Copies of this chain bind each other. A is one copy, B any other.
């Protein structure tokens, strides 16, 4: 009864079970499904999207379970969330590298800025204000070259 496990990237998804148990948390079919879906995902995914994909595998998937699992997974560092342009939840799968976000207010596209470039921009806040910047929580809105400043 092993479902066609997605040929996920060689990432610590396999360690998830152990990570959960190590914290006294449990490994359940539900969580396993969510992990599997997540393993086959790259980049961003919204909560609603994840719920839908899970439902594709198991129609009995309940939203609240998904959201709660996502919370746990974030706690463990497997995903990280932020909010999209419309304020909706958006999860970053396997935040391997710290990065900031550049979001085009015109087309909605999101570009990631590497750690170094981002730090060069906002890292200074650490010394000037004693503020410890968390790159994955840096969101810079504006207009990309393609969209250009919008005229209303």
Give A contacts to B, CB under 8 Å.
75, 83, 87-89, 102-105, 121-122, 124-125, 129-134, 136-145, 148-149, 152
Contact = CB atoms under 8 A, between A and B. Distances in A.
Contacts of A136: 141
30 contacts: A75-B152, A83-B87, A87-B87, A87-B89, A102-B125, A102-B129, A102-B131, A103-B137, A104-B131, A105-B134, A121-B122, A121-B125, A122-B140, A125-B140, A125-B142, A129-B145, A131-B142, A131-B143, A131-B144, A132-B143, A132-B149, A133-B140, A133-B142, A134-B141, A134-B142, A137-B139, A138-B139, A138-B140, A138-B141, A139-B141
- What is the copy number of this chain in the assembly? 2
Contacts of A137: 103, 105, 139-142
Contacts of A145: 129-131
A39 to B, nearest CB: 23
Contact of A121 (B124, B141, B143, B152): B124
